[in-house]
Amino acid sequence: MSLENLTQNYESILLNLGENPKRGGLLDTPLRAAKAMQFLCLGYKLSLGEIVNNALFESDSDEMVIVKDIELYSLCEHHMLPFIGKAHVAYMPTGKVIGLSKIARIVDMFARRLQIQENLTRQIAEAIQEVTDAGGVAVVIEAKHMCMMMRGVEKQNSSMYTSVMLGAFRESGNTRQEFLQLIGK
């Protein structure tokens, strides 16, 4: 992602909207917008291996581990408008556990890409499964989408919920129900 090219593209967008990118309030806007977009799409530069960085630890625990209310910020790939929400992630360890912060970092890595919520939910679940070799993984994301709130149908109070259940969470209704109950859903 070339900062110079992105800056030129934002200047072109302003011109095509009928704005003057040389007026006082907009002088540095193309550069600021380019830097913001680079930050919002930082997930493309990250890999699962870099994120986890060997933060897997031996453990006899085989009970559900849940990290609830992980805030996330992403951009809808259809309109490049934000969707904002939280992820709830659970897994059933089978000999090893992952460092707590790594789960939030995995959420961020995938959220910081142009994305749809359905795919984001699956990518997080599959990454946790791949890294931990867990007996099951569950991910629920609830988010508000600016593309639905600011344009189109303009529904301010709607939220979207997505879930992916793998392994024990898919196979056992009791396990799934315990997870949903613990996250308050």
Catalytic residue positions, numbered: 76-79, 117, 145, 147
Residue found by looking up tokens 């109070």 in the block:
157
Report helix, strand or coil for 112: coil
Maximum Cα interatomic distance, the chain, rounded to a whole number of Å? 63
Instruction: Please report, for residues 10, 67, 96, the alpha-carbon distance to residue 62 in angstroms, rounded to integers and kept in the order given.
Output: 50, 16, 9
Report helix, strand or coil for 20: coil
Euclidean distance between CA atoms 123 and 156, whole angstroms: 27
- DSSP annotation of 135 reads S
Task: For the chain, report the end-to-end CA distance as a whole number of angstroms.
Answer: 39
Phi first, then psi: what are they for 34, rounded to 5°?
-65, -45
Report helix, strand or coil for 130: helix
